[in-house]
Every structure is written in structure tokens, then in C-alpha cells.
Structure 1
Amino acid sequence: MPLTFDMPFEELKTYQGINPKPADFDAYWDAALAEMNAVDPQIEIIPDADFQLPTVTCSHLWFTGVGGARLHAKLFQPKNAAEPHPAVLRFHGYSGSAGDWTTGESIALSSSGFTVAALDCRGQGGFSEDVGGVKGTTLRGQIVRGLDDAPEKLLFRSIFLDTAQLAKIVMEMDDVDETRVGALGGSQGGALTLACVALEPRIKRAAPIFPFLSDYRRVWEMDQAKDAYAELKEFFRHHDPQHKRQGEFFERLGYIDIQNLMPRVKAEVMMGTGLMDTICPPSTQFAAYNKITSKKSLEVYPDFGHEILPGFWDKACMFMLGL
């Protein structure tokens, strides 16, 4: 096994991360889930007028999330599947959206008898709202949104909760078997897959690929606060140029660091990673993976970075078909 660009593979297998975990982390997320569960989701399902398939009904799913934001997901429902049938949640990369109806694995899975829901993350490239309302910078970047405010104002707190709320909505559909639900996604979508299964422990299987949003301090210390993590450097340059509050900021980011949620995961996890990933460094991915205590497996691509990992999504689809 070749070296990764940040540490040897043998060290990756035991690496535990360095970003601090807030002392009240579990209480923080228990309170967040209680807030989510108190929301009236006001669900609307509207079939798409322009795109339908012989075997799949394609609809727009709208619901209300924490803070009153209206959230959107693309919903794929099999027309001839047995009831109740399994379901899969799909999450997209940072700044993107659920995409076209033909994007990703949704139609393949739905044609195989699955309900599939593909979330638009609030404030990104799709239709879901970011209702704002935080102190401090909103210049660019959602990782640091709310970092100068109370921890409850961190935007990714809301986005993580949106994934769990979508899972709850799908599980409560009359034609879905709530005991046979999975989740998948890459990069930010990989992070949201892991956050979702941590916050909704009834989900049975997860297939994340090179997950984002993990071990922020490691990213910083590797001088990899660029590309998808560039806003970390931007934040310090504009709001703490001498790093006098660095410890405070990284601890606050610990509330939305997926590695800290991993002890909650009950799902079986199949994760894909490229050891030459300079966008989401391998060590940050392993910081999360190594904290998962449920059944898990790792698909390793030694020569690949943050790119298509050949064969992984085929394996992920087959993994979900085993639900």
C-alpha cells in the first residue's frame, strides 16, 4: 500500500482525529433532535408535470425544517413494487443540489423497488431555503455560518437535522418499510450520510464516499484549508487574523464535526476513500470511520483522489439492494 499524501496507511487505520469535541456535545444534539421532533413538517408531495417514467413516479417533496425553512427533495416512488418496500436517502456534494431526475443512483434504485428521496441542502444549489438569522459573517461558506453566534446557530446543525427529518418523513410513508432504509452520498453527501444515520439510528445501511466535514483542525494543520475548506482560512483572515480565538473556534466547529457523531451510528457502513484525496484528506475521513463501532467495511483506492472511484457506486447499489 503506497503512502497517502498526509500519513502512512497503517497510521490512518488507528488515527482518532485532533479537532476538539465540546464537553456538552451529546446534550447539544439531544436538544437539537428534540427541537426537530417538535416541528410540524407540513409535508407536500407534488408530482412533476414534465418528467415521469413508466416504472417510477417522480415528485417534489416539500417539508418545513427547524427555523421554519421550507426544504425540498426529489422523490422517486416505484409504481409496481410490493408494499411495504425499502427506501434510500441520497445526499449531494457541497454547493450542489439533488440534480436532474436522472442524476445519480435514484432511478436505478427506484426501478428496483425502492422509494428514493434526494435532498436539496438548504441555501445551496437547489430549492431548499436558508432563512438566515445569524450574527457575524455570511460572506461565503456554510461551514463558518454562525461561528460567531451561539452554537445552536451553526448552519450545519440545521442541515444535519434536515437529513434526519427527511429520514423520519420517508420512514413514516405508508408504502415504506421503516426497517429497510439506507443512505448514500459523496463528499458533503458522504458527511450527511453519516450524520443522518447517527441522528436517525433506525437506518440500516450507509454508503458514504470520501466524507467532508470531519476533523477541521487536522485540515488546518495540514495547510489544506483550500478548495472546499477554503472558508476556514477566509474566516481567520477576516475575523481572527492573529488566531487569538483559534481554540474557541475549533471547539465550536466540533459541534458539526461528523467524527464526534460516529459513536451514535448503528447502521452497517460501507465507505469508499481515495488515499490521494487532497480535498477531504484521508486522515480526516479515517477520523470518522475509526469511531464507528457498528459493522463496517472500507473500499480503499490507493491511487485515487476526490474523484469517481471506479466501481464504488455499483457496489453501493448492490449493498442497498441487500436491505
Structure 2
Amino acid sequence: MPLAFDLPFEALQTYQGTNPRPDDFDEYWAKALAELAGVDAEVELVPAEFTVPFARTEHLYFTGTGGARVHAKVVRPLTTDGPAPAVLMFHGYGGESPKWTDLLGYAARGFTIAALDVREQVGYVDNLPRGSAFNLKHHVVDGLDAGPEHLLYRHVFLDTRRLFDIVSDFEEVDPDRVATTGWSQGGGLSLVAAALAPQVKLAATVFPFLCDYQRAWEMSLEKAPYDEITTWFKKRDPQHLREREVFTRLGYVDVQHLAARIQGRVEMFVGLEDKTCPPSTQFAAYNRITAPKNLHIYPDFGHDDLPGAMDRIYTLIGEGL
């Protein structure tokens, strides 16, 4: 499987990443989770205008770290034979939660499904004052100047854990039968949720973003979204005097450094021609996972629709929970 722009496939299988891991990484995340636990979630469930006869469709609002009100779509089957599985779904960079109709397949299977709208990227808007402001760029480096505790993705990562806690507490959900899934940013967040909530039984991730920032930058592909790092250097540190400090700070929110915490099974889908999230960055995370795991390789595909992947994930989650 030759790669014209990245490491040979044999090297990918043993690649251990480039971006440095901060010395106090574990303490950082212990402190972050403790901070989250001290924030009242203020959970609110509001019936959606979109309805179906076999499930409840609701808007979920909760408070995360930093005081943000975060939104997710929730679909719950009307009846289950005792506590049943749940799926947490995460969307791509700059996107929004899927359409209601895209969530119904899991509800038809008797599963609860919750799809997060990532704070500050959200395309979802309602007519209530819930803080619907959004920004479509520079989330990777957002908060970098202010310090590790201010990184936007620190808050987003914690939102995935809060969503797990809320959904797991639903009466109809079995907390030991929860899966996560998503593509690109959503793929990265599906791994993050499984790392910060080790009870997650299965993570189905497609070409995960948010992995091995320094490797992506060193490849100089000048392609969004990792080009944000180059832009930051041009604007903030044109001589790269702080380069080591910058990548170490980004290491706090690098999925590869959280991957070893995952205890549930991981199914990862990778396109070997992916120039948006280069394969080596994805393998940096995959190779650190010690839990049961499987790769699904698409040699000729990039950051594209991977044929059959969506159906395969639906089947894997259905059989795995």
C-alpha cells in the first residue's frame, strides 16, 4: 500500500507520534475532570418540533465548563425491554449535529442516540437566549496564548464526558452499553469520549482529527484545518522562538495522548490518501490504544465518503452493544 505523501504503510503500523506529551498531562486531565464535576449540569430537555410515532425527539441543553450552554439532539425509543444501549455521535469540524432523520436508525433499533453540537461551531440556532454565537475558524489554537486551561478543545473534550454522564443516567439507558462514533473531528471526539469515560464499550471512529499536531504541521500540507497552526506562527511567533512550548501546550488536547485510557473496543476507518488528517496522525492515536481494536483501511481514499463505512458502523454498533 504505497503512500506518496506520508509514511509507508509498514511504518504507519509502528509510528508512535511526534507531538510532545506534557509532563503533567495526567494531572491536567484529573484537574479538568474535577472541575467538570463541580459544575452543575443544569440539564434541560425540550421537546422538538420534529416528531415520529416510535420515539421521543428532544433538544438537550446542559452547562459545561466555562459556563457555556451546550446543545445536543436526543432521540429515545418510546419503549425498551429494560435498560438498552445508547450511542453518542459527534460531528465534523465546523459542522453541526446531523438531521433528525439521520438519527432515527438507531432509535428504530431500540437505542437512545444523542448528537452533540460542538460549542462555538454550532450551526444550530433557536429563538431562545442560549448563547448560540459561533466561530468557524481557529479552534485548534483558540486559547493557546492564554494557557493550557483556556484551550477551547479542553472544554469541548469535557463536553463529551458530560454528554456521556447525562445520557448514561437516562432511565432507559444501560451505562455499560454505550458507543461513540463520528467522522473527522467527530472521529477524534469519539475517541476522546471513550478515553474520558472509560465505561464506553465501543468507539467507531472515521479518520479522526485532533491527533499529532506537530506531525501534521511538519508535513506542510497547508490544508485546513491544521493550517491554523501555521497561521498562528505567522501572526504570533514568526521566528518560531516558542515552537517547543506551543506544541507541548497543544499536547494537552492531542487525542494520541488520551488514547491509552480507552478500555472499550475501537473500530477505526482510515483513508490512506487523506491529506486533511494524514494517516500518520491517525495511526499515532491508534498505535497507543491498548484495548481491543481493528483497522478498516481504504487505500485509495482521502478525507472522503468511505463506501460502506456508515452501514458497517451501524452494524458494528448494533452487534457490539
* Same topology, TM > 0.5: yes
Matched residue, 1:34? 34
Alignment of 1:1-323 (within 5 A): 1-3=1-3, 5-49=5-49, 51-103=50-102, 106-127=103-124, 129=131, 140-322=137-319, 323=321
Once the 2 structures are TM-superposed, how far is the Cα of residue 314 of structure 1 from its aligned partner?
1.0
Where 2:66 maps in the other structure, the secondary structure is helix
Task: Kindly state the Cα deviation for residue 81 of structure 1 after the two structures are TM-superposed.
Answer: 2.4
Residue 56 of structure 1 and its aligned partner are, at CA, apart by 1.9
Report how far residue 267 of structure 1 moved: 1.0
Does the 8 Å CA contact 1:123/1:129 hold for their aligned counterparts?
no
Per-residue deviation, 1:5: 2.5
The whole-number CA distance in structure 2 between the counterparts of 1:279 and 1:224 is 8
Task: Flag structure 2 segments of 5+ consecutive residues without an equivalent.
Answer: 125-129
CA offset digits 1:78-134 (Å, max 9, x no partner):
12322211100000000111032123xx211111000000000000033485889xx
Q: Is the 8 A contact 2:202 2:317 kept in 1?
A: yes
Q: Report the Cα distance in structure 2 between the residues aligned to 1:216 and 1:243, rounded to whole angstroms.
A: 15
Pair 1:211–1:172, CA change in 2 (3 A): same
Paired AA for residue 294 in structure 1: A
Deviations 1:181-238 (A, max 9, x none): 0000000000000011000001100000000011111011110242111211110110
Quick check: 1:187–1:209 contact (8 Å CA) kept in 2?
yes
Quick one: distance in 1 between partners of 2:3 and 2:228? 28
Runs (4+) off by over 6 Å = none
8 Å Cα contact 2:45/2:60 also seen in 1: yes
Say which is worse superposed, 53-62 or 221-230, in terms of deviation.
Answer: 221-230
Partner SS for 1:206: strand
Shift of 1:287: 0.2
Letter in 2 for 1:171: S
Alignment-derived partner of residue 135 in structure 1: none
Q: Deviations over 1:136-190 (max 9, x none)?
A: xx99411101101121000000000000100010001111111100000000000
The 1-side partners of 2:137 and 2:260 are apart by 31
- Alignment-derived partner of residue 127 in structure 2: none
Q: Unaligned stretches of 5+ in structure 1?
A: 133-137
Distance 1:57 1:41, change over 3 A: same
Matched residue SS, 2:228 = helix
Query: Is the 8 Å Cα contact of residues 18 and 217 (structure 1) preserved in structure 2?
Result: yes
Partners of 1:197 and 1:226 in 2: how far apart? 28
In the alignment, is the contact (CA less than 8 A) between 2:180 and 2:194 conserved in 1?
A: yes
Distance 1:4 1:185, change over 3 A: farther
Aligned-residue identity in percent: 51
**RMSD (CA atoms):** 1.6
| 8 Å Cα contact 2:88/2:164 also seen in 1 | yes
Q: Is the 8 A contact 2:70 2:119 kept in 1?
A: yes
Q: Name the SS of the counterpart of 1:298 in structure 2.
A: strand
Structure 1 residues 14 and 130: CA distance shift in structure 2, 3 A: farther
CA separation in 1, counterparts of 2:114 and 2:222? Answer: 32
- Please tell me the residue identity of whatever aligns with 1:37: A
Q: Distance in 1 between matches of 2:265 and 2:288?
A: 13
| Count of residue correspondences | 315
TM-score under structure 1 length normalisation: 0.94
After superposition, the Cα gap between the structure-2 partners of 1:237 and 1:249, relative to the gap in structure 1 and judged at 3 Å, is: same
8 Å contact kept, 1:4–1:302: no
CA contact (8 A) 1:275 1:282 kept: yes
